[in-house]
Amino acid sequence: MDWKEKSKEQLVQFKKDVGYKEELIVSEAYEPYIEKQGKLEPNLKQYPNSDLPGVYIFYSESTGFLYIGKCSNNLGFRIGAHIGKPGDKAAPEYPYPYAESWIIENKNDLKVITIPLKREHFFLAPALETYMIWKLKPPYNARSK
């Protein structure tokens, strides 16, 4: 079963468990890094539904689900906080000064999946995040250990 099927399967079960009637959509996988002039740099493009609350999942083709997070108001901003920004003056020798180590280790095949929620349902983001962590057990979520 691939990542999208597994994610959808868990969303269907979540909806049943909590009685959620709205549609939950798993996005296509986006690449958080793009190659520019022979170097990988954070992909700062707008993710679809990036201004909505929801859950995001970092996924690697080689290792599977890595990390699941939530955001109560802006998925794009929260994802950006994880991947870092290039060329920071405080640490110019380190290409991604704010990126987390597990992101750097998996950056060559890293993908981001988003599950946006309606703005008025922002309060469901923590419940959906906890549920997905419980079911998918990503290694970089402290609560999954």
C-beta separation of 57 from 68 below 8 A? yes
C-beta separation of 29 from 112 below 8 A? yes
- Counting as low any pLDDT under 70, the low residues of the chain are 1, 3, 40-42, 44-47, 84-99, 143-145
Give the domains, in start order, of the chain with CATH numbers.
3-144 (3.40.1440.10)
| Res 88: pLDDT | 44
Non-local (6+) Cβ contacts of 100 within 8 A are 82, 140
| Res 125: pLDDT | 93
Model pTM score? 0.79
| Res 92: pLDDT | 42
